[in-house]
Amino acid sequence: MSSKEIIINDIKVNYLISDNFQADEAIIFLPGWNSPAEIFSNQVKVDNLLAINLPGFFGSEKPKEVWGTSNYADFLSEFLNKLNIANPILVGHSFGGAVALRYASKNSVKKLILIGAAIVRTKTSKTRIYYLGAKILKILAPWLAKKMRQAFYNKIGSRDYLESGEMAGIYQKVIREDSQSYLKEIGNTPVTLIWGEKDLDTPLTQAYLIKERLHKGQLYILVDAGHYCFLDNKEEFVKIFLKETL
């Protein structure tokens, strides 16, 4: 794999690409929030892999505005067009899975492979109470609202938010964006779901919910694996991935 850079709409983007890469056989990987492209490319050795460090992470410049998930999907469209890549196998983990789904809802892909994809973002009663309280505090005591927000994310175990720094505004936006409605937009696109049995970030129940809404969907469950199932059960994951991409 070689590390390269490209400018997309005035944003410098870093990506990894296989030696002897062939665009017509492209496998595109989108990592999760605050995860590097290497986390996947170092584990799965396949030809024609291109793994992108999404804007804001690991060598790719931060968007100049507060992006949502669809902005990242639009970015992906510009990126692939610039490299003359069409109809790829598109792979997304966690947040990258939500971006991949939204891209596939408007663009042709050979296959969509979603790994612990953060597609279901429906608010729980706990988060509804939090957001209501935060809105009130923002008006009455902005400094206290910020402290409450940090305490809330600490309590629910979301280190992503606290570690996001300059990306916190984008993070707050994307975690509220449910992508389930885009499942009906991908038609007969083949979709492979790969999930960790013990995923706590995107629970297995979400995988079943997603599969029910697909025309052509296959679900693989990796035993004793969590959100990073391709790390926790690498051997089984690679077998499945090669089967689904060759």
d(CA 172, CA 9): 23
Domains with residue ranges and CATH for the chain: 2-121+177-245 (3.40.50.1820), 125-170 (no CATH)
Are the beta carbons of 79 and 90 closer than 8 angstroms? Answer: no
Q: Do β-strands 11-17 and 49-52 pair in parallel, antiparallel, or remain unpaired?
A: antiparallel
| Model confidence at 163: pLDDT above 50 | no
d(CA 106, CA 154): 36
Residue that has been written with the tokens 């305490």 in this structure: 151
| Model confidence at 14: pLDDT above 60 | yes
Question: CB neighbours of 19 closer than 8 A, spacing ≥ 6?
Answer: 1, 2
Average pLDDT over residues 47-55: 97
| Model confidence at 153: pLDDT above 60 | no
| Model confidence at 237: pLDDT above 80 | yes
- Output the pLDDT for position 105: 97
Average pLDDT over residues 210-215: 94
Average pLDDT over residues 66-81: 98
Average pLDDT over residues 39-44: 92
d(CA 60, CA 34): 11
Are the beta carbons of 153 and 162 closer than 8 angstroms? Answer: yes
> DSSP label at 120?
-
Mean pLDDT value across the chain:
88
d(CA 158, CA 203): 14
- Output the pLDDT for position 127: 43
Between 57 and 149, name the one with better pLDDT.
57
Query: Which candidate, 53, 102, 44, places its Cα nearest to that of 79?
Result: 53
Give strand pairing partners of 233: none
- Output the pLDDT for position 246: 85
- Output the pLDDT for position 126: 44
> DSSP label at 63?
P
